[in-house]
A and B are shown apart, each in its own frame.
Chain A
Amino acid sequence: MIKRGTISPRQIFFILTMLLTGIYILMLPRHLVYLTGTDGWLVLIAGGLVSGIILFFINKTSLKFPGKTVVEFAPLVVGKIWGKLLGFILVVYFTLLAAGSLRLFAEMLKAALLPETPRWIIIVTLVGLIIWIVQNGLEDIARFTELIAPIILILLIGVLIGDIGYMKIIRLKPILQSEPVSLLKGIISSISYFGAIIVLLMLYPYVSAPEKLSKTSIGALFFAVTITLAVFMGTVATFGIFETGRMAWPVIELVKMVRIGEFLERLEAFFLSVWLSIAFINISVLAFCSVAGWTQLFNLKNYRNLTYPIMLLLLGLSLWPRDLLDVLGLYRLNFTYGLFISLAIPLFLFMVSLFYKGGGR
């Protein structure tokens, strides 16, 4: 079994913030601009609020089953078959998210920094590293996150401040000019985006003070929404909606604009090498949830034996799409339908668990 109750709430705070702002933020501005133009920031706030409600369901439900992950308590709530099915959906979702993050980051690294390196080299080396840290358990991932997250956040804020001279408020206007349908689509996207917070359902039993988690997780969500908002607005204020919509990686372009003094330019290589650790954290957490989830789904004793086959699956999945456009197409699917997992499952579990009278099995 994996040791439980060893992660501090503060580590969870950083894990969640990294998970929510980690990889998808690099492409989110384009996606939102494509849907809603200058209204993107409103959509982000709305999505953040709904995610707050989801978080409420997650926290309430998880606290009813101390020491159990969602894969373990779902069968208790909704019966064995349905519970296993729910767990299965979630675990598949985590696995896909991990594979997606892996591929997305590899694509970005390839596009911006390593044009001639085959992408499987990038992916395989990362997977190798992830296998190692997943084998070591969540505690190591958490410690690493706690160490590196503040650096990354400072860097991101630094990029925004560095580009402030190029930003113009007028590029964020006018507001509320989009069609209601595209506004709705945008909100769905941003819920799906923040929906990665559902990972918390898997992390609960590993935390040392679960009762503190409600506060911590809301804090992390708020923080992540703020950062995402700042990045979105910064990108659009710098490039305008049309140019942002043209860019494959708007945030990288933002980094390329930063110039410190007269001579320090082209910081994207440095930025990306730090961003590598975000990708590493994100994928490790998702991979851990996936491995732990599969283990619990099959009631296995030791998750270590499962690591290799699952990471192999992850590797296969992430190499599967042909090119960047394919990957982005798949992501559009997640941004549209991810909602059914990240909103519906916590809601459903919460509703049913209201009738659950604890204790029994």
Chain B
Amino acid sequence: MSGSKRLLILIMLCFSLLTAGCWDRKEINQIGFAVGLGIDKEKDNYLITTQMALPSLLEGGGGGEEAPVWVVGGKGKTIFQAIRDVNTRSARKPFWGHLNVIVIGEEVAKDGILPVLDLLSRGRELRRLNYVVIAKGKARDILEAEPKLESINAIFIRDLIENRKGQSVAPAVTLNDLMLSLSTAGKESVLPKIEALEQESFAPPKKSEGAPQEEGKGGEEKPKQILELRGAGIFKEDKLVNWLDEEATRGFLWVVEQVAGGIIVVRSPVETDREVSLEIMSNKSLIIPQVEGGNIKIKFQVLSTLNLVENTGVVSLETSKLIKKLKQRASSSIKKEITKAIKIAQASETDIFGIGERLRTQYPAVWKNIEWSEIFPGVDIEIEVKVNIEEANMTLKPVTPPKQRRK
């Protein structure tokens, strides 16, 4: 190879470096990492709340008292205008690639979420795997809350969603899921509900805070400390129409095969004043549309495996006869949850289960000739629940005082 050729190759190689993108370089100290996004509405304007991580406070633990996030907002006619409005207050341009959650305020949800989602689903930086939650009240309150354990609130919410298996009383919905349920014919959207509280929702109201208030902040509202992810909001098209409570939410999750864990508490079959806890191990479900003549009937089939984990009574239940009774009780408890979900959905006239989608794909000819949204509220839904109880525990009998021992 001659010298000039070598030189040419060298020049070419240098050129190829250009395609690697120095032009669009962004130094890490020029961008602010937006980890949470909240959207509220005030009359005709959208209010954006972003939660930006402060990397300098995150590393090394030098932060001390200060929270490593900064909550800052913007206002605009469109979401994008509001987002750019943040730039007038933030010295660093927000970078959306590391967003964790999108919190939508209750009011925005009631007015319709499509105008909000368009930008979010177009974005180059945003991923479709971001979780979307709906705030009871204002989204800003959620992002300003200061829960413990996790110093970044948005990551706390993300973990809350990912750890929902403990109870399965809220769905997990990503932006992609939401876009899909909004665009699929015969399926409506459901979003988990999040609420910021001063204290746990079951706790009795406190008169005065235990810890001494920070001085000088007397009149101001203190950030809330508890975030609860329970229940769900259901949508008709893109508008929030109703809420599901925890029981109904799990009823809904049973049908869409998303119950990943949780506890079912049933009465003990022998001691009428004692309860038994059954842990949910798995959940399989089917939605079966049946068309006979012009009549449409729907069947929900739910199969679940439970594990006996707690018996507050003293009589051992580990006999096949009693287990059978437990199974019946568990399945009727599941049935009750599902029935509740169906009732709310039908009353709100919104097919959150995606029955219409099943019908459309299995009976396309039937689907073409019906108006599903008119049929759904009155459609007949049969529920079939099958329960297995596993007895794979470390312990076979409950704690029993000597006098009550039978065997």
Residues of chain A whose beta carbon lies under 8 Å from any beta carbon of chain B: 109, 111-117, 121-122, 125-126, 128-129, 132, 166, 170-171, 173-174, 177, 238-240, 242-243, 246, 253, 256-257, 259, 265-266, 273, 276
Contact = CB atoms under 8 A, between A and B. Distances in A.
Contacts of B180: 171, 239-240, 243
A243 B361 CA distance: 17
Given A239-B176, A259-B129, A125 B16 contact: yes
Contacts of A265: 127, 129
B15 A129 contact: yes
Given A116-B24, A266-B97, 20 more contacts: A115-B124, A116-B23, A117-B21, A117-B24, A125-B15, A125-B18, A125-B19, A126-B19, A129-B16, A132-B9, A171-B184, A173-B361, A174-B360, A174-B364, A239-B180, A243-B183, A256-B127, A257-B128, A266-B127, A276-B19
Nearest to B177: A166
Interface of B: 8-9, 12, 15-16, 18-21, 23-24, 97, 121, 124, 127-129, 176, 179-180, 183-184, 357-358, 360-362, 364
B355 to A, nearest CB: 12
Contacts of B357: 170
Interface of A is mostly: helix
B354 to A, nearest CB: 8
Given A132-B8, A243-B183, A256-B127, A273 B20 contact: yes
A112 B18 contact: no
Contact of A113 (B15, B21, B184, B364): B21
B23 A128 contact: no
A109 B19 CA distance: 9
Nearest to A128: B15
A275 to B, nearest CB: 12
Given A115-B24, A129-B12, A174-B360, A122 B19 contact: yes
A170 B20 CA distance: 39
Contacts of B358: 170
A266 B126 CA distance: 10
Contacts of A114: 21, 23-24
B20 A112 contact: no
A121 B23 contact: yes
A232 B104 CA distance: 33
Contacts of B18: 121, 125
A108 B124 CA distance: 12
A115 B362 CA distance: 43
Nearest to B287: A170
A153 B127 CA distance: 24
A177 B184 CA distance: 16
Nearest to A122: B19
Contacts of B23: 114, 116-117, 121
Nearest to A117: B23
A253 B361 contact: no
Contacts of B15: 125, 128-129
B130 to A, nearest CB: 11
A113 B12 contact: no
A111 B19 contact: no
A265 to B, nearest CB: 7
Contacts of A109: 19
A175 B99 CA distance: 37
A181 B166 CA distance: 52
Nearest to B97: A266
B156 to A, nearest CB: 16
Nearest to B26: A116
B189 to A, nearest CB: 13
B95 to A, nearest CB: 11
